[in-house]
Structure 1
Amino acid sequence: MSDLHLESGGDDGPAVLFLHGSGASGAVWKPVLERLRESGTRYRWLVADLPGHGRSGHREDYSPEGYADAVSAALVGLLGENASLNVVGHSLGGLVGMTIADGTHGVTVESLAVIAMKVAWTEEELARRSALADRPIRILPEEKEARELFGRISGLRGPAFTDEDRAGGVTARDGGYALSADPGITRAAPATGPELAARMLKVTCPVELACGDHDPGIDPADMAEVLGHPVTVLPDAGHNVHIERPDLIADLVERALGR
């Protein structure tokens, strides 16, 4: 039985899988799903908590293939072998989506949208990231404090999100509460230039790339050069475009569906 948390809803239209970024959970897509509901878009949505995140189990393998294998197995279990779907991935979720879309994971990807993918890292950034894996787990006495911490890390703040949304990233531990995410997700080095380019070359479906115009960690020119597709720069948004400008991501989904 899969220990990957996968939710589904909506109509009998085309399926759209939403994949979140590192340190977050599937709840980050709530504003986009609400926009699509308001617009009357008929589709079936699927939202996963990636392995080591949210309500999904921890694993040893947090490589792109490890993530993709886990997500694909859950998809095949729910939809059946060779089911067709569209994929929207933010940051890490974009990398997982690229890997699933290589035609070897038992599902057929009709379109892929990659949002805010970091394609280059400095040595300082890599050192900070690696150090997170060995940092002692922070235990908080109150569940409310842990939920607030997860909200700050994941972007689940503001009126669009509830305590229940944030609870998906928290677990009881050692007489208190901690984030449910596995610290080990940052132990493996992130994929960069040549690896990302090679993975994108294996993707055969239509691809759309996008990032926010105020994203401090993403250079759209670098993203376009490495991934080999033009990047749409979305206005008035930082890294979490799907939270800050869900209308723009909903538009992107509707374009992929031909609406």
Structure 2
Amino acid sequence: MKIVLTGLTLLLALSGIGACVHSAVYTSNVEEKYPPIGSMVDVNGKPVHVIEAGEASAPPVLMIHGASANAREFTFTLAPLLQDDFRVLMADRPGHGYSGRPEASETLEVQAAQMAGVLRQLAPEQKAVIVGHSYGGAVALRLALDNPDLVSGVVLLAPVTHDWGGGGETWYNKIAGPPVIGPIFSQLVPLVAPSMVKSGIDGVFDPKDAPDGYYSDAAVGLLFRPPSFRANADDMNVLQDELAAQQDRYPELSMPVVLFSGARDTVIDPKLHAGKIKHQVGGFELVKLPDTGHMPHHHHGDEIADVIRRLAARNDDQSS
């Protein structure tokens, strides 16, 4: 019996070592394939990776990506539509893409503080239009709440804005989050997740089709590096509590807020999030997209770009 137990222990140890080696190789390969394509901005002692498009002298637009993503999400969608008129700043959130992760980065406060630091360094004494997709919408709102001096308007794309009352958490985020089992589980992720997520991307875009080459263009593979996967899990595991603490502050928002909501969204409940915030913000505008799901910027980019231009022009009028 002792020999059997010793053999099992050795087998488990070898399996663990194998998983660690595989994850290290995966990380090296995926970072070689999708290297940082922006610059590093030091904010609160941690680097924030910022991809830029457009002229540095143009009015700023800051784009904040959602969960399981990185700043490349906007490089082939909204940025090309705006770069002739704006300085488009696309930032990796803490622990995602190539941004460092300060302490307590699972909180919306710290997430927003890192984004605010980017604006204060790259666009000082200017107000920016803030664009947030999904989880990034919650960060965009917190940025506007905590730093209204930096924000001329907010554009929300299928955002999560309110506590949804429990449930809906994914099993893999629950496992990846805890301090003991989480790091072990995250080492196994590169073994299976990349092939699984490729087949599941269509569900996020449903009822539209995912763009050809989306997995590569958005560098989705960066998510499955163990530290990034755990960062994403930590963000999601506390999101409901974070939103419950934030949602009562929305009446403080004095700038215009425009929300693009896909009626066929299966990732979040648009009636819950859009339906609640529209009663809390004075300068609120809801754009309903009847045949769109959770990725409106891929199929309604021109409409979103027009709204960004309108909010920026409004800020120019008020400043002159």
Partners of 1:126 and 1:252 in 2: CA distance: 32
Picking from 41, 60, 79, the partner of 1:15 is 60
Identity of aligned residues (%): 22
Q: Could you report, residue by residue, the CA deviation over 1:58-91 in whole angstroms, capped at 9, with x for unpaired residues? A: 34312111101111123222233x3321111112
Using the TM superposition, give the Cα deviation of residue 258 of structure 1 relative to its aligned residue in structure 2, in angstroms: 3.1
Name the larger-Rg structure: 2
**CA 1:170–1:44: 2 relative to 1, 3 Å:** same
Retained in 1: the 8 A contact 2:260–2:287? yes
Q: Which residue of 1 aligns with 2:112?
A: 68
Q: Distance in 1 between matches of 2:252 and 2:139?
A: 13
Deviations 1:94-139 (A, max 9, x none): 222222223647x521111122223241322258586252452133
CA distance in structure 2 between the partners assigned to 1:189 and 1:142 by the alignment: 26
Q: 1:117 to 1:164 in 2, by over 3 A?
A: closer
- Give the 3 Å change call, closer, same or farther, for CA 86–157 of structure 1 in structure 2: same
- Written as runs of structure 1 = structure 2, the 5 A alignment for 1:129-144 is 131=174, 133-134=177-178, 136-137=185-186, 138-141=188-191
Amino acid at match of 2:259: L
1:159 is the counterpart of 2:203: no
Contact 2:156 2:260 in 1 (8 A): yes
The equivalent residue for 2:77 is 31
Amino acid at match of 1:15: P
Equivalent residue letter for 1:186: M
Confirm or deny that 1:114 pairs with 2:156.
yes
Q: Distance in 2 between matches of 1:193 and 1:59?
A: 22
2:68–2:220 CA contact under 8 A, matched in 1: no
Which of 123, 128, 135 is the equivalent residue of 1:79?
123
**Residue deviations 1:152-199, cap 9 Å, x none?**
7987953364626416724666xxx9858543222324244673131x
TM-score, L = length of structure 2: 0.65
CA distance in 2, matches of 1:44, 1:185: 28
Moved more, 68-77 or 126-135: 126-135
Residue 88, structure 1, aligned to residue 134, structure 2? no
Cα distance in structure 2, aligned partners of 1:56 and 1:150: 26
One-letter amino acid of the counterpart of residue 158, structure 1: P
1:92 is aligned with what amino acid? Y
Q: Which residue of 2 aligns with 1:201?
A: 251
Deviation at 1:21, TM superposition (A): 1.3
Greater alpha carbon shift after TM alignment, 149-158 vs 240-249:
149-158
1:142 deviates by 9.3
Residue in 2 that maps onto 1:234: 289
Runs (5+) with no aligned partner, structure 2: 1-41, 315-320
2:61–2:87: 8 Å Cα contact kept in structure 1? yes
Q: How many Å separate the matches in 1 of 2:217 and 2:173?
A: 30
Distance in 2 separating the partners of 1:252 and 1:211:
14
Q: TM-score, normalised by structure 1?
A: 0.78
**Contact 1:22/1:92 (<8 A) preserved:** yes
| 2: CA distance, partners of 1:252 / 1:215 | 21
Q: Say if 1:112 and 1:241 are closer, same or farther in 2 by CA, change over 3 A.
A: same
Matching residue's letter, 1:112: V
Q: SS of the residue aligned with 1:139?
A: helix
Deviates more, 1:115-124 or 1:205-214: 115-124
Kindly report which structure 2 residues correspond to 1:239-254, keeping only aligned pairs within 5 A, or say none. 239-254=294-309
- 224 and 193 in structure 1: CA distance in 2 versus 1, 3 angstrom threshold: farther
Considering fraction of residues, name the structure with more strand: 1
Instruction: Quote the residue 2:6 is aligned against.
Output: none
Q: Give 1:48 shift.
A: 0.7
Q: Which residue of 1 aligns with 2:88?
A: 45
Q: Secondary structure at the match of 1:73?
A: helix
Calculate the aligned-residue CA RMSD, in Å. 3.5
Between the aligned partners of 2:85 and 2:69, the Cα distance in structure 1 is 26
Cα distance 1:125–1:154, how it changes in 2: closer, same or farther (>3 A)? Answer: closer
